[in-house]
Structure 1
Amino acid sequence: MVVSDSHIMDTGSLEDIKSRWGILNASSSPLHIRYIKDGSIVLPGLSDSHAHILEYGASRQLSLEGGKTIKDTVALVKRYILENADVQKDRSRVIEGWGWDHTSWPVEQWPHMDDFEKDPIVRGRSIILQSKDGHALWISPHVLNTSLPFPNEVEGGVIVRDEFRNPTGVLLDNAQELIQKPPLTEDDLLKRFAATVKDALANGLTSVHDAGLNPLSLAFFKRQVAAGNMPIRIYGMTFFEENGPYWGNLSKPIIGASNGRFSARSVKIFADGALRSGGAALFEPYHDNPETNGFMRLDPAVLYDVIPRFLSDGWQVNVHAIGDRANSIVLDAFESTLKNVNVTALRPRLEHAQILTEADMARVGKLGVIASIQPTHAISDMWYAEDRLGPERVKGLYAFRSLINHGARLALGSDFPVEDMNPLSGFYSAVTRLSFDGRSPHGTAGWFPDQRLTRQEALRGMTIDAAYASFTDSEVGSLVPGKRADYVVLSQDIMTVPVGQILDTKVFATAIDGRPVFGEI
């Protein structure tokens, strides 16, 4: 591969390159030739099609994923307090953490605000802990008391209450907005951004699709563009606020700012909640909780209203949809809009597309809607999914092969910090449907092994199809002359090594615009 400045000029065998470029010997070469290590491989720069950049940086401050019980999780908060002298001394300091997962605890139950009060170090502090899936908050009594009064109900959300109707300190989906978090300083934001970029480049990521830029995040990234501080490609989805004014005709999409490294040309809309927290909107009640079938986070009429307007105003529309009912409603709205338009020019996306009926899988392919999926969600959820959905409905969950067979284009991501940032974790999950230690509820062949992707399909979802989903497929996503030289050097060929060795792969180097930004060549 011949790279000049930021672009790929030529590819081929070394002999062909030497012939075309008039290289007779090393001393006469107009090129500086570099060799990669034996056994290693060069791939297009990898993309994460659904992630949360500043939230990941925040999650690195106090990670709760090691908490295997409620008591363990509180102990992690205690350790954080004791390891940070400024936090320990200032009892008014708000403590934020990320990653608790009640579905992984021995007894699957919601935590309670009083659990914080059992430890004298933790007691009485302001604590706000985000769940692993981002759809629930667990707060301390002090935070709850300063947030009261709560409404009786929250549309598109739940205030978890005890048998006496008192709040327990857990808030789901839209109810999370009842809690006011402390304002972030510019230094806070810069630290979060730097932490995410450092890890992303070390994992071979050259492009990240940020799935929900709120006004604060969007303004921050605009400032980084103006300051020339854009060390990785970011494709932003601007957050849609149901109760705010329609802004699709008031602001223009940002396309290719900072020399092609920043775009914000799509809108992110939430249709429903999450499966893990029981907020995904289903046609039929949950198998393990027949009293509910989840909920929509907004009225379907809103989707029918704003989707056509955003599309007509030149915005890509990306809708978070988990449950089969939510996905069907979103597809109805897309179908009513896309009849007489150029779908390739609009490239609408279903973010997650987790549970679909067979008929709706066919509609995804027919309509040309992109399915933005996260394979590591499948191996996280497979341990409880059948209990939650039942033996028949669960067959439509994370049905990647069925979507492909119906003609859908898949863009792969991780939803970090919800799951591991490493794109090879997603690659491995997509082609094996096994946990990282080789297990599944269906044995070593994988969970619903007929839904596995091929390695080529998985790689496309992390490269050229991810680029298509962000309108950058003419610039990046494959290693061909004329495209930008975004590439990653891996220690071994993930397309041929035994699947059990995929996760042993190391990133030797990551390059953006022809320049190494991690490692060396």
Structure 2
Amino acid sequence: MPAHDKKPPPAPAKLRQAAAEPKKAENIARRLAFVFLAAALAGIATYVSRVGHGGATRRVQAVTSVPESYAVCTDPGLVYTVDERRPNADCLLVKKDRIAATGTLEEIQAEWDVYQIDLVNKFYGGESKAKKPLKVIRPPSGSIIIPGLADAHAHLMMYGAKMQLNLEGAETIDEVLDRIEHYVASHPAPHDDGVRWVEGFGWDQTRWKDWRGGFPSKTDLASRPSLAGIPMALSRVDGHALWVSDRALELAEAKLPGGRWPGHGEVEGGEVMKDKNGKPTGVLVDSAMALIPVPPPSEAQMTEQLERAVKDALAVGLTSVHDAAVNGRMLNVFKKMADDGRLPIRVYAMANEESSEYWGGRFERLEDYGKDGRLNLRSVKLFTDGALGSWGAALLEPYSDNPSTSGLMRSSEEALKQTVTKFWNDGWGVNIHCIGDRANKAVLDIFEGLLQGNESAAQRRPRIEHAQIMRREDLTRAGQLGVITSVQPTHATSDMWYAESRLGPDRILGAYAYQSLLQLSSNKVLPLGSDFPVEGIKPLLGFYAAVSRLDGRGESPHGPGGWFPSERLTRAQALKGMTFDAAYASFAEGDLGSLSVGKKADYVVLDRDIMNEGAAFTDILATQVRATVIDGRVLHGGI
């Protein structure tokens, strides 16, 4: 399967989508007349029409309501289509929810004239006065238009939950404790004698100044009297370690068999961290986190979390999100919002349940589900290991900075193979979390065996999520097999300050190797995501990290040229990774991912040209989203 559309552009006749059977002509004519009249009346104050080839166009004010058919034009060449047949254009012609044409204004006008003549001849008896002018909208000079941005790996409801008590970015443990105290003070305990849990997300001990090293503990939480006695569960920034209070441990212990905490190696794929006396320190890693009885969110809470997440996603230019772990309760909330037409973005959900039993039969496959057809589910998300920041990534050799461990596999390689094979044989797309080189090798071994049958990778599109630390031979093998490696560029710039000390000088050469993965890919596909809320939700942060390999201050361990700069992506590669490649990874490249004729009219208007390779990287971080458009309608901002 090629990375770009290879079909020749459709002939003008194929763009004439308003034609219908002769028996329906009279009714269609009435509807068209009404549509054009309503659009003209509603749009007088918000857009200016341009008739023929020579009329001037000026912007009156931001357009937040557009007609069913219109053109949107930038300065010459500033529509970046991600379509190799015509990478740049001046204008898009939008008809209802689809792109009808791209090109210069004159070419767009010609397409419109053909369309109008066709309508007039069919429904108006050839009367020229029935022809409608082309409505042309112009964003401010210097703006660019790009395809709607996709995040190929994120967690929507987790993001909504994180925003309630966000611990990200704290530079000291005292700042973390200050935030928790403020939250507790502003959120009084319930009066119904119910247990009030405090949940937070985003702490990262590797970023704390003057920190003693290792994980924090329950004692650190108890150092603040106002927090004593409160059950607290605070997730590390990567979601693979839980920092809990003494009261949370007490509640958990009461539910443990015999009231005994499991010892080292007794929790498959997890660890209860203990002190020298064998007592829990207050940190649990990966599978062991399930021992803490944090009450699940209610449906109302999940709905609120999802509403917050999709609103924020639109504001930063996201039109599609691959949600990389949706359980059954979550899916019910997604479906209800989709049924009600309240799901504004496109969601490619990956089913997931934390269960040792096979759960594939609990989920129904969804294709263009809901009032607006924006919800899809055809794949599952599985996990192999933990994360590098919590020493949980499964490595083939011990950690360089902690030789006592090689990380954690959540299950044995043989058990993982049986699980993956069951989902594969049941027809599910299989997407697997792999951070460490042991995890990546194990999954590639499994995929290699499954792909030796009749089905190709292009048909099934198996994915490795993260593909973070890989042997050089496995970088090559993933490409040869056609396994999609879905990566998150901000993980590289977040981890680069400690990754080499954790992995050593040899293993680091196969880590965060984005340009290598892209070049070795058999179809040159590298979908990009963020893993938000682990990283920030703004896709332009990922774009910046991919092309610069620098942090937000313009720094890296290798200086201003970027961390391992040979692994940087070009701006064109990064944009394709956030549009077409993400669409391909979700089986949606026929409808999404590029501004190509016939595809959905999903696009984003930015206030400056981030695609200019000569522009400063800092300009990317300063870029603002002027408008996010889905199905041809402005859902955030204004043009």
Instruction: Confirm or deny a common fold (TM above 0.5).
Output: yes
- Partner SS for 1:329: helix
The alignment status of 1:397 with 2:511, answered yes or no, reads: yes
Alignment of 1:86-485 (within 5 A): 92-106=195-209, 107=211, 108-148=213-253, 149=259, 150-152=261-263, 153-244=266-357, 246-248=358-360, 251-258=363-370, 259-340=372-453, 341-407=455-521, 409-485=525-601
Cα–Cα, structure 1 residues 476 and 176, in superposed 2: closer, same or farther, change >3 Å?
Answer: same
Distance of 1:21 and 1:286 partners within structure 2: 63
Amino acid at match of 2:600: R
- Partner SS for 1:36: coil
Q: Is the 8 A contact 1:271 1:298 kept in 2?
A: yes
> 1:99 Cα deviation (Å)?
0.4
- Of 441-450 and 178-187, the range deviating more from structure 2: 178-187
> 1:91 Cα deviation (Å)?
8.9
Cα–Cα, structure 1 residues 494 and 88, in superposed 2: closer, same or farther, change >3 Å?
Answer: farther
Cα–Cα, structure 1 residues 418 and 173, in superposed 2: closer, same or farther, change >3 Å?
Answer: same
Distance of 1:39 and 1:404 partners within structure 2: 31
Aligned-residue sequence identity (percent) comes to 49
Aligned to 2:52: none
**1:29-58 deviations in Å (ceiling 9; x for gaps):** 533211111000111000000000000000
Aligned to 1:51: 154
RMSD across aligned C-alpha pairs, in angstroms? 2.0
Cα–Cα, structure 1 residues 379 and 483, in superposed 2: closer, same or farther, change >3 Å?
Answer: same
The alignment status of 1:36 with 2:139, answered yes or no, reads: yes
Q: Is the 8 A contact 1:45 1:487 kept in 2?
A: yes
**1:448-495 deviations in Å (ceiling 9; x for gaps):** 001111111111110000000011110111111111111100001110
- Of 119-128 and 199-208, the range deviating more from structure 2: 119-128
Distance of 1:160 and 1:38 partners within structure 2: 57
Cα–Cα, structure 1 residues 449 and 139, in superposed 2: closer, same or farther, change >3 Å?
Answer: same
Distance of 2:279 and 2:157 partners within structure 1: 33
Distance of 1:252 and 1:127 partners within structure 2: 35
**1:157-203 deviations in Å (ceiling 9; x for gaps):** 01000001100110000000111212322221121111111110000
Q: Is the 8 A contact 1:242 1:298 kept in 2?
A: no
Cα–Cα, structure 1 residues 190 and 22, in superposed 2: closer, same or farther, change >3 Å?
Answer: same
Q: Is the 8 A contact 1:66 1:73 kept in 2?
A: no
Q: Is the 8 A contact 2:328 2:363 kept in 1?
A: no
Aligned length: 520
The alignment status of 1:513 with 2:631, answered yes or no, reads: yes
TM-score by length of 1: 0.96
Cα–Cα, structure 1 residues 76 and 88, in superposed 2: closer, same or farther, change >3 Å?
Answer: farther
Cα–Cα, structure 1 residues 104 and 424, in superposed 2: closer, same or farther, change >3 Å?
Answer: same
Distance of 2:191 and 2:479 partners within structure 1: 54
Instruction: State the structure with bigger RCO (CA 8 A, min sep 6), 1 or 2.
Output: 1
Match of 2:618 among 485, 497, 500: 500
Mind listing any 5+ residue stretches in structure 2 that lack a counterpart? 1-91, 117-127, 254-258
Distance of 1:464 and 1:414 partners within structure 2: 16
- Of 247-256 and 117-126, the range deviating more from structure 2: 247-256
Q: Is the 8 A contact 1:87 1:93 kept in 2?
A: yes
> 1:90 Cα deviation (Å)?
7.8
**1:355-381 deviations in Å (ceiling 9; x for gaps):** 111110011111111111000000000
The structure with the larger Rg is: 2
Q: Is the 8 A contact 2:146 2:603 kept in 1?
A: yes
